[in-house]
Chain A
Amino acid sequence: MKDFPLLDRREVLKAGLRFSTATLGMGAAGAFGQSVPFAPPDSTKVLGPPPSALGQRSPFETPQKFLRPGTAAAGASFTPLEILHGIITPADLHFERHHAGIPVIDPGSFELMIHGLVDRPMKFTLNDLKRFPATSKICFIECSGNGRQAASLPDGLPEDITPGQLDGLFSVSEWTGVKLSTLLDEVGASRRATWMLAEGQDAAVMGRSIPMRKVLDDAMVVYAQNGEAIRPEQGYPLRLLLPGWEGNANVKWLRRLEISDAPFMMRDETSKYTDAMADGRMRMFTFEMAPKSLITNLSYPYVMQRKGFHEIRGIAWSGGGKIARVDISLDGGRNWARAALQEPVLDKCATCFRYGFDWQGEERIIMSRATDEQCNTQLGYVDNEANRGPGTSYHNSAIRPWKIHADGHITFAMKEVAA
């Protein structure tokens, strides 16, 4: 591993340990010993600890996000997609991408300002926002730069990269808040308005211009994530939610909305998050995330343990709506068969897929391909590059192939597909 040294297993166990002795309480610490996560030989013969005020993971489970090497206040951490089983990302494993660190904001003094082309410029406290009719949406947020390492020229494509290290700038939550259209009624937004600036309260005062069409369609300002207050890393106390649209536009730590008739041309919609295309021009305002899927279990660094039945598992999603189908190829993309989709299949959300097959020790390139309800289908590396060129690493949704070697180890096989 060049870029992402894998965690030393002993380090992981040690971390789990500190965690367990620190959190299980007196009785548990006494019963469970001091040095290794310990399970009594027969748990039916030992009285367990009482109910706790705050639940904890099993000391045997120590999930971690992948920190981009050298990551600083302007950095990222990736959801470990390969260890998750459903569609919801545990809030503490939600990916992070910040431009100037995570601000600390007092919810008591927090206000959201809405002004510009409105009848009544207004400010709303967090309590005001919680009193408006509430609504929830289970959907993904995906960073526009997700999967960047699959966008390199063939020589630069990595082989020893995990699904999370590659595409873990993708997470799913249940978000709860207020429809933005409700707030815009309250301030009397002008019918002339075509764009809205959304600006955060972080040290980058990060801002993005959002078309009013989206704002009035399904945009929300949200204060809750998976049933509790949003995590600081996700925008506490308030973030913008644009279901299906590139992560950066879902502005965190939201404090200001300016209604306008033109985009604002902020740094993060000009210098960054624009696509340099094959024809030498630069495309701005690519918001909707394309259909994409990813095999998460039979992938690097997993090693096939035995011959026989294996179930390919993964997730598929599209910013264009629901997933209509996922196809699996076991032969490098020549033949395809339909995977089973796990309910629920939700709009602009991860959908789990599964496909069983028999492995007898042969070398194979396996891959998945998503199609959404608009009939848009995930493209392979070659078609994807032809569409866009090597100049952009944003919005990369190309098919992700994995090679199962005869000895059972698995590598990321984009390089072979690209060649």
Chain B
Amino acid sequence: MNRLGAGIFLAVLGLVGCASTSNNARQDYGLGRVIDAAEIAQWDIDIKPSGEGLPDGEGTAAAGAILYQQYCTACHGDQGQGGTNDRLVAAFDREVNYSTGSPTRTIGNYWPYATTLFDYIRRAMPHNAPGSLTNQQVYDLSAWLLFQNGVIAENDVINRSTLPQLQMPASGLFYWSDEVVDLATD
């Protein structure tokens, strides 16, 4: 039986049984249009923790330092110490960070995934010109911030295969709430 037929059948059953079944039984509505891979790619910007979605290219802290001074210092401070907006550099110190009421939570002491950094800078920063950076610039800025936060060494290069491998200082401290614990994969 096709889906429409099944729907009618169920609707009839509903009437016979006096149940208040919905008349919205599964059917094809014929709405919307199917899209191809090229159209999906225009909006599909997320970077998954596996690294899926990362573009070609690689970044270095040295190149990122110059870009940072140019595009980010005004709001986040020249060393990432924070300014009108969020601090972006903090050493990992579990005691200081989690036993007080308003700790600084940022890349070095809180963020569980390095891939999130590339994803977030590319989609949302700089706040006053969102989405304006090239993939190359985002790789370089990510490298500088990871270096400043003690995640990579000064001369390390990040790219689509190294970025997902990076161990973030606080990553082991994250756990999933009871609401979704059964969906956890690791």
Residues of B81-95 contacting chain A, CB below 8 A:
85, 94
Sampled A-B contacts (10; CB under 8 Å): A122-B35, A156-B101, A266-B119, A271-B116, A276-B98, A282-B110, A282-B170, A283-B175, A283-B177, A285-B179
User: Could you say which residues of chain A place their CB within 8 Å of the CB of B185?
Assistant: 262
Q: Is the Cβ of A122 less than 8 Å from the Cβ of B34?
A: yes
Q: Is the Cβ of A265 less than 8 Å from the Cβ of B32?
A: no
B24 close to chain A: CB less than 8 A:
yes
Q: Is the Cβ of A199 less than 8 Å from the Cβ of B179?
A: no
Q: Min CB distance, B124 to chain A, in Å?
A: 5
Q: Is the Cβ of A122 less than 8 Å from the Cβ of B48?
A: no
Residues of B43-98 contacting chain A, CB below 8 A:
43-46, 48-50, 85, 94, 97-98
A74 close to chain B: CB less than 8 A:
yes
Q: A186 touches which one: B28, B102, B105 (CB < 8 A)?
A: B28
A123 CA to B32 CA, complexed, in Å: 6
Chain A residues with a Cβ under 8 A of chain B: 73-74, 99-100, 113, 115, 120-125, 128-129, 131-133, 152-153, 156, 182, 185-187, 194-195, 197, 199, 203-207, 211, 255-256, 258, 260, 262-267, 270-271, 274, 276, 280-288, 389-391, 393
- Beyond A204-B130, A282-B110, A285-B177, is A131–B116 a contact (Cβ under 8 Å)? no
Q: How many A-B residue pairs have CB under 8 A?
A: 161
Q: A391 touches which one: B31, B39, B101, B130 (CB < 8 A)?
A: B101
10 interchain residue pairs of minimum CB distance: A267-B120, A124-B32, A205-B123, A128-B31, A153-B101, A133-B24, A203-B130, A122-B32, A390-B101, A204-B124
Q: Min CB distance, A36 to chain B, in Å?
A: 41
Q: Is the Cβ of A113 less than 8 Å from the Cβ of B35?
A: yes
User: Could you say which residues of chain A place their CB within 8 Å of the CB of B131?
Assistant: 203, 205
- Beyond A276-B103, A276-B105, A280-B98, is A199–B183 a contact (Cβ under 8 Å)? no
Q: Is the Cβ of A266 less than 8 Å from the Cβ of B116?
A: yes
B40 close to chain A: CB less than 8 A:
yes
Q: A199 touches which one: B28, B46, B97 (CB < 8 A)?
A: B46
User: Could you say which residues of chain A place their CB within 8 Å of the CB of B94?
Assistant: 280
